[in-house]
Amino acid sequence: MIGKMPKEAAQLRKNIKGIDQKVLTSSRQKHKYIYLDNAASTPMLNSVWSELEEFMSWYSGVHRGTGYKSIISSKVYDECHAMIAHFAGADSLLDTVVMVKNTTEAINKLSYRLGFKPGDIVISTNMEHHSNDLPWRAKTAVKYISVDEKGNLCSHELRQILKQYYPRVKLVAVCGASNVTGHVNDVHELAKIAHEYHCPILVDGAQLIPHLPFSMLSHQNPGHIDFLAFSGHKVFSPLGTGVLIGPKSLFYKGEPEYAGGGTVNMVFDHKIYWADLPDKEEAGSANVTGTFALAKTLTYLQKLDMRKLAQYEENLTAYALKNITQLDGITLYGDKKRVGVISFNIEGMPHALVGAILCFEAGIGVRTGCFCAQKYVRHLLNLEENAAIVDSLAKPDYPGMVRISLAAYNTREEIDHLVEWINRIRGHADEYKKNYHYSSQYGCYYPSKRDDRDINQLLNKFLAV
Ligand SMILES: Cc1ncc(COP(=O)(O)O)c(C=O)c1O
């Protein structure tokens, strides 16, 4: 046990690459870096790094070579798809796992492959990341399910919209969990409703897969999830992978949005014979290393037990919420029930300044701004949908929030340190405002008197030629 951590979470923590990394704070103290920005990207696992290192001696391009290494790498690469399918509860016979770069690419790919016709409609929601909104807007008409004043999805609207536009609705596209409030949507219930209207559902799993156990469920189940998208870098595997899982029947039809090497069996002047799935959808040379790392990471998490990790994260989130709520002058956004994503503001302090102080004084990494979910953030901030307001503001004054996002390796001690610093920032707001300025060089607030030798040393180390 580390503090009040169950053994699964303690094991995960020990396995986090760079967990003991120290950073220099403004008081010239070396402080163990506290990473509370896991919703953006998570660190990698030491064990997977070691497995990858060993595999690299056998690494080769896949599916095209005839050498020994290519045989091994191709088999490993293909098997990794099956491991990823297993983690997501997909059906290996009926579904295909397509490797892409990230969730954004996965959703864009689906938007190309659905083959919309004039009049078709996609239903999305007002709590989506831009990546589950803009790809649909670019292809067809989108109707949005509203959110209430706390940011909860008004799920009952789904049936109304489906009824109103039946049979023109071609997809319901909804996030499994929000990257702003951490609210979790009951995607299987939404799927049941969508299926009553013969409409498939896509779950943007970017914030769901890292935090909660999940299954797409069998194709016979009315709550089955038809399409799932998620990112490797948000689930301890930052080597350039994303995943789109969906029924083979869809991807057998039509042409892939990218064609070229690897996607075909035979090419004639008059006809192209496409390769089998998922090759048809994975144009060009594959990201073998990233796929290997993701499959190994997901298998590790599965063995560790996602339920236990999720339970610990839930307790940690409740602990953080309770302690932040006790402070005066803090606005918390969203309701109580959520994964470990908590957004807030400190009265009278720009969110970006709070983020900078946490970075430079406390050694804590968070995120500030609108988190690529501007509509939702504006709604929670009670701001008008008015582009002119934003145009009239200087960059550091853009509306936004401070977000902490937890993973099952974070500790109560880390939360205590954060809460202590939020309190300190509240108490010394004017002092901090005087000591920081907006730096256009770094694109953030910066301490006016910082000795930058540590940062420059690191930059020289990594960028020296
Ligand atoms: C809910 C949600 N969807 C989609 C994305 C996009 O993920 P990526 O940047 O990996 O494409 C994010 C990233 O923060 C997210 O949180």
- For the chain, 465 residues long, the average pLDDT of each consecutive 10-residue run is 80 98 89 97 98 97 91 97 98 97 98 97 98 97 97 98 98 98 98 98 98 98 98 98 98 96 96 97 97 98 98 97 96 93 96 96 96 96 73 71 98 98 96 93 87 90 89
Q: Could you tell me the distance, in angstroms and rounded to a whole number, from the CA of residue 19 to the centre of ligand 1?
A: 24
What does the pLDDT read at residue 394?
Answer: 58
What does the pLDDT read at residue 66?
Answer: 87
Maximal CA-CA distance, the chain? 74
Question: Who contacts 215 (Cβ-Cβ below 8 Å, separation ≥6)?
Answer: 88, 89
104 lines ligand 1 (CB under 6 A): yes
Contact 363, 32 (CB under 8 A): yes
**Correct CATH for 48-302 of 3.40.50.620, 3.30.410.40, 3.30.70.270, 3.40.640.10:** 3.40.640.10
How far apart CA 108 and CA 90 sit, in angstroms, is 20
**Residue minimizing CA distance to atom 14 of ligand 1:** 40
Domain definitions of the chain by residue range: 7-44+304-463, 48-302
Cβ count within 10 A of residue 420: 12
Tokens read off for 18:
């760079």
How far apart CA 144 and CA 122 sit, in angstroms, is 9
How far apart CA 203 and CA 129 sit, in angstroms, is 12
Q: Could you tell me the distance, in angstroms and rounded to a whole number, from the CA of residue 220 to the centre of ligand 1?
A: 29
Amino acid at 228: L
Selection from 356, 365, 374, 361 nearest residue 442 by Cα: 356
132 lines ligand 1 (CB under 6 A): yes
How far apart CA 119 and CA 98 sit, in angstroms, is 28
What does the pLDDT read at residue 393?
Answer: 60
Contact 272, 264 (CB under 8 A): yes
What does the pLDDT read at residue 65?
Answer: 81
**pTM, 2 dp:** 0.96
Q: Could you tell me the distance, in angstroms and rounded to a whole number, from the CA of residue 168 to the centre of ligand 1?
A: 27
131 lines ligand 1 (CB under 6 A): yes
**Correct CATH for 7-44+304-463 of 3.30.70.100, 3.30.1370.30, 3.60.15.10, 3.90.1150.10:** 3.90.1150.10
How far apart CA 125 and CA 147 sit, in angstroms, is 8
Q: Could you tell me the distance, in angstroms and rounded to a whole number, from the CA of residue 391 to the centre of ligand 1?
A: 25
Collapsed DSSP state (helix, strand, coil) of residue 20: coil
Question: Who contacts 200 (Cβ-Cβ below 8 Å, separation ≥6)?
Answer: 170, 171, 172, 194, 226, 227
**Residue minimizing CA distance to atom 7 of ligand 1:** 103
185 lines ligand 1 (CB under 6 A): no
Chain mean position to CA 60: 29
| 80 noted as active-site residue | no
Tokens read off for 462:
């990594």
Q: Give me the half-sphere count of Cα atoms (radius 13 Å) on the Cβ side of residue 333.
A: 28
129 lines ligand 1 (CB under 6 A): yes
Distances 55 to 51, 241, 296 between C-alpha atoms, Å = 6, 17, 11
E strand intervals along 201-322 = 201-204, 227-231, 242-247, 264-267, 272-274
Tokens read off for 226:
């038809």
418 lines ligand 1 (CB under 6 A): no
How far apart CA 184 and CA 229 sit, in angstroms, is 16
Catalytic residue from among 80, 359, 372, 444: 372
How far apart CA 246 and CA 216 sit, in angstroms, is 10
Selection from 248, 231, 247 nearest residue 107 by Cα: 231
**Atom from ligand 1 closest to the CA of residue 234:** 10
DSSP classification of residue 177: B
124 lines ligand 1 (CB under 6 A): no
Buried b (16+ CB within 10 A) or exposed e, 107-133: bbbbbbbbebeeebbbbbbbbbbbbbb
Quickly tell me which residue has 């839930």 as its tokens: 314
Question: Who contacts 59 (Cβ-Cβ below 8 Å, separation ≥6)?
Answer: 69, 73, 288, 289
Give the residue, out of 41, 125, 179, 184, with the most ligand 1 atoms within 8 A of its beta carbon, to mutate for a pocket test.
Answer: 179
How far apart CA 103 and CA 92 sit, in angstroms, is 21
How far apart CA 331 and CA 228 sit, in angstroms, is 33
**Atom from ligand 1 closest to the CA of residue 128:** 1
Element (H, E) at 39: none
What does the pLDDT read at residue 387?
Answer: 63
298 lines ligand 1 (CB under 6 A): no
Distances 311 to 211, 212, 307, 315, 339 between C-alpha atoms, Å = 10, 9, 6, 6, 10
